[in-house]
Amino acid sequence: MSTKEKPKESYYERNRRQRLAYQKAYYWKNKEGIKEKRKNKEKNDPEEIQRKREYAAAYYRKNRERIFKKRAETKRRRLANQK
């Protein structure tokens, strides 16, 4: 890892909680608008739902191993924090 990447990584780690709190607040503030836009988009393009499903399935197949590793790591951390 180069020295340029380390400060960037630590910045995101330092501000992770604030970033997540902002994202959560933004979502709750704009939740209805987001739902409405999604409904309109799916109503105007009925194939949108099918495309989303196909994309999600392909992404899962492609990244299955990485997803499982991340889930296992998260579970391990959760169990370690409970002790």
pLDDT digits (tens, 9 = 90+) for 45-70: 989 889 999 999 999 999 999 999 99
Rounded alpha-carbon distances, angstroms, from residue 12 to 16, 27, 69: 6, 20, 22
Domain count, the chain: 2
If asked whether residues 11 and 26 sit together in one domain, one would say yes
Is 75:67 a contact under the CB 8 Å cutoff?
A: no
Q: What is the pLDDT of residue 54?
A: 97
Give the range of the structural domain holding residue 20, as residue numbers without chain letter: 1-44
pLDDT digits (tens, 9 = 90+) for 1-41: 555 666 667 888 889 999 999 999 999 999 999 999 999 99
- Residue 27 identity: Y
Q: Provide the token pair at 54.
A: 């196909």
If asked whether residues 10 and 36 sit together in one domain, one would say yes
If asked whether residues 9 and 21 sit together in one domain, one would say yes
Is 27:34 a contact under the CB 8 Å cutoff?
A: yes
As a 3-state breakdown, the chain gives helix, strand, coil percent values, each rounded to 5, of: 90, 0, 10
